[in-house]
Amino acid sequence: MADDILLELRQVNKVYGQLVKYQALFDITMKVPRGQFLALIGPSGSGKSTLLNIVGALDRPTSGEVFIQGVNLASLDDDELARFRNQFLGFIFQFHYLLPEFNALENVLIPSWIATRRKPGKEIIERAYFLLKRVGLEKEVYKKISLLSGGQQQRVAIARALLNSPTLILADEPTGALDTKTGDQVLELLAEIRKESGTTMIMVTHNRDVALRADRIIELIDGQLCKEVYPQRIGKEEAEKILEDHACNIENVNTL
């Protein structure tokens, strides 16, 4: 794999069920360069979240291969996959899955506890403090999650995702449960952090305005790659025209 390619999928398929089978993904082949912000869009049931789960090593494909940093995820057993996921990947979900009985700092430290199975050391605690400050929560460090607003909770989730300095951030509708103003603030924060660190990010979204902030947009239809658009290259107006057109512009997904 070339050094500038962080993620590569080769003919990835996903089939659910034994007696009654349902295929969610069909021959997905694509590459994602380091530092790219990629938005995955498509209607409900198009396979976006399934693809994100496979890329995030939360699920395995029925067939095909997934490479991250040159590592074939199929070569890892379940324990190795969990360690790889915790070391290299950061996750931000629509519903942040924070633990309400813990405060903000403790929630951010969870990836460290999972990785080391012991009390975090001074260095990692200082990093957690730094990240909470970076996301604007220096005054809420010791507040219980239940006392924070939705936007503040999502900021805690972002800090948690960044604790282990992930190579790849995977975000599934991270602003879906937020109002427009708070959602915009979260997106701006993610853009700033990604620019500072050069981190690669893949985001699933139903919101076209959110997708148009990305370097690259890929649309899935019925489990297949359909469109590819680079809004920052061609301009948002031209990108919107392409997205509104019902015709797919990827003739052969294996060359993407």
Give residue-wise pLDDT tens across range 127-138.
999 889 888 888
Q: Furthest-apart CA pair in the chain: how many Å?
A: 55
Close Cβ partners of 2 (under 8 Å, ≥ 6 residues apart)? none
Run of H or E including 82: helix 78-88
Close Cβ partners of 212 (under 8 Å, ≥ 6 residues apart)? 231, 236, 239, 240
Each residue of 139-153: pLDDT tens digit? 999 999 989 988 888
pLDDT of residue 2: 61
The reply to whether the predicted model has a pTM over 0.85 is yes
Instruction: For the domain covering 5-255, report its CATH number.
Output: 3.40.50.300
pLDDT of residue 1: 53
CB 186 within 8 A of CB 171: no
Q: Does the structure show a pLDDT above 50 at 255?
A: no
What is the domain partition of the chain in residue ranges? Answer: 5-255
Instruction: Specify the long-range contacts of residues 129-137, CB closer than 8 Å, at least 24 apart.
Output: 129/105, 131/159, 131/162, 131/163, 132/104, 132/105, 132/108, 132/156, 132/159, 134/159, 134/193, 135/159, 135/189, 136/189, 137/104
pLDDT of residue 73: 96
Each residue of 83-129: pLDDT tens digit? 898 889 988 887 777 888 899 999 999 888 877 777 888 899 999 99
pLDDT of residue 34: 94
Separation of alpha carbons 28 and 245, rounded Å: 22
Separation of alpha carbons 202 and 30, rounded Å: 13
| Mean pLDDT, all residues of the chain | 88
> Exposed, middle or buried by CB within 10 Å (0-12, 13-18, 19+), for 119?
exposed
Each residue of 8-35: pLDDT tens digit? 999 999 999 888 999 999 999 999 999 9
pLDDT of residue 251: 58
pLDDT of residue 97: 78
- Here the tokens at position 212 are 């148009």
Separation of alpha carbons 165 and 156, rounded Å: 15
Each residue of 170-192: pLDDT tens digit? 998 887 777 788 788 878 888 88
Run of H or E including 54: helix 48-55
- Residue 30, beta-bridge partner list: 9
